[in-house]
Amino acid sequence: MEAGTLVFLPILAAVPHTPSWSPTVGAVMILCNILAIVIGRLTIKYPSAPPAMPSPSLFGNFGLPAVLATTSFGHLLGAGAILGLANLGVL
């Protein structure tokens, strides 16, 4: 290893506590995804942009870009919420 990479070893060793999967962890992720979909419903300018989903009514008339955007955002929110709650000792 180079001398410059040794400086970052303590940072790489700092791993946050990650809880194992449980129904509570799943519920937090689901709630965060629902929150992201609500935020997307209120803020996305063209939610039904093509390509369309196979059953538009099942996906709230969202197109594929909106579904991918809202669920990606929901997973970011969920990961942050799960790690934060685990760090606080709630999960």
pTM of the model: 0.78
Token match 């995804």: residue?
A: 33
pLDDT digits (tens, 9 = 90+) for 56-72: 777 778 899 999 999 99
Q: How far apart are CA 88 and CA 7, in angstroms?
A: 29
pLDDT digits (tens, 9 = 90+) for 16-52: 678 899 999 999 999 999 999 999 999 989 988 898 8
Asked whether the beta carbons of 66 and 85 are under 8 A apart, the reply is no
Asked whether the beta carbons of 83 and 18 are under 8 A apart, the reply is yes
Q: How far apart are CA 86 and CA 80, in angstroms?
A: 10
